[in-house]
Amino acid sequence: MKRWLLFLLIGPCFHIFGQEVPDSMAMRKEQTIVTEPATLYKGILRIALGTELRFLNKRFVDGKKQPIDENIWGSNIVSFVSAGYGVTERLMLKIVVPYVRADYYQTPLYLFPTNTNQQYSYPQRWKTQARGIGDVDLSAGYQIIQENKSRPAIVASVSATLPTGRKDVTDDGDDVDHTYDLPTGQGAFAFETALMIRKISYPYTCSATVFYIYQSEANKVTGLGEASANVQNGQTLGASASLNVQLSNWVAFANNLDLLRSGGQTKDGAPAGGAGWLLQYLPGLSFQLKKLRIDQGMMIALKGNNMDADPAYHLLLQYSF
């Protein structure tokens, strides 16, 4: 009797939550970040509009969050359109086209002595900005092992960042040396390889990823009036772990923890910037309204060195066709 009662209580849970492979295409398009597979289902096209709002206010210096010297303050908004497509049940392709809008301000005050024991005050406000298409990402993900009840999914992915954004610092046409147009891209190719292991255990999904980003050298102008130089950004090695929780049929709570280390930048072969590392946490909410998904979250820099320490806000709208 007790066994039957236990079966009646537990059985429906498996019946409801054991929908690992939805039958219809419509159901496949309505899966949440917890229930969907590691790559897109075959034949599904997912278009996304996203934005990331980030501020330049503090950096990790000597392991502590410090305001940036010289009173520089800025905002950086990267909006993007992306399209992902499930070529097979295991293989998906994706393209991301970003648009960069950044504004940086510097406001020093110069005080000069005069003959009358007074000071002549000379306030300055310099603004530099970036506007335009950034570097485009192309990526492919392949499920080496597809997930089932007893084993997790293992996904290998590769991506290439193309130098489609403007790479040089350029004069904005006025007479002030400190105001100019910033680049919207790095001017270099970047290649990323990642390996992810992921398991759904409803109402949870957890994953762990390791990745490596190789950046090529770029010949570009990094300062107004300077000659172009060969600049190479540091290579990045990182790992991330995520735990997503399904709160209701259509709302999920996402948690992501990233740890990454970037090597120092070189300019014409000489070191031009120190290596850095960063530990950041990204909590977020994901709302699945039929085929529409709204993701939002806040990236919070926890610890690090030689890295930006400000939070970033993410908003992403996705629709599956």
Task: Answer yes or no: are the C-beta atoms of 217 and 231 closer than 8 Å.
Answer: yes
> From the CB of 115, what's the least distance to another protein, in Å?
9
Q: How many CA atoms lie within 13 A of 283 on its CB side?
A: 3
> From the CB of 260, what's the least distance to another protein, in Å?
22
List beta partners, residue 267.
Answer: 231, 270
3-state secondary structure labels for all residues of 187-201 = CCCEEEEEEEEEEEE
Q: Which stretch binds another protein (CB under 8 A): 63-71, 165-173, 254-262, 268-276?
A: 63-71
Two structure tokens written together for 126: 């310099």
* Binds another protein by CB under 8 A, chosen from 58, 199, 303, 314: 58
* Binds another protein by CB under 8 A, chosen from 113, 173, 175, 270: 113
> From the CB of 71, what's the least distance to another protein, in Å?
4
> Which of positions 240-299 make contact with another protein (CB under 8 A)?
247-248, 251, 285, 287, 298
Phi first, then psi, for residue 223 (nearest 5°) are -145, 150
* Binds another protein by CB under 8 A, chosen from 147, 310, 316, 320: 310
Q: Is 109 in the site for another protein (CB under 8 A)?
A: yes
What's the rounded Cα separation, in Å, for the pair 220 and 137? Answer: 20
> Which of positions 70-89 make contact with another protein (CB under 8 A)?
70-71, 73, 75
* Binds another protein by CB under 8 A, chosen from 19, 81, 125, 145: 125
Q: Is 110 in the site for another protein (CB under 8 A)?
A: yes
DSSP secondary structure string, 233-276?
PPPEEEEEEEEEEE-SSSEEEEEEEEEEEEPPPEETTEE-S--E
* Binds another protein by CB under 8 A, chosen from 57, 79, 216, 235: 57
Q: Which stretch binds another protein (CB under 8 A): 28-36, 104-112, 188-196, 217-225?
A: 104-112
Two structure tokens written together for 297: 């979250």
Phi first, then psi, for residue 253 (nearest 5°) are -105, 120
* Binds another protein by CB under 8 A, chosen from 85, 105, 142, 202: 105
Q: Is 204 in the site for another protein (CB under 8 A)?
A: no
What's the rounded Cα separation, in Å, for the pair 105 and 53? Answer: 16
Q: How many CA atoms lie within 13 A of 234 on its CB side?
A: 19
Q: Which residues bind another protein (CB under 8 A)?
A: 55, 57-58, 67, 69-71, 73, 75, 105-113, 119, 123, 125, 247-248, 251, 285, 287, 298, 310-311, 313
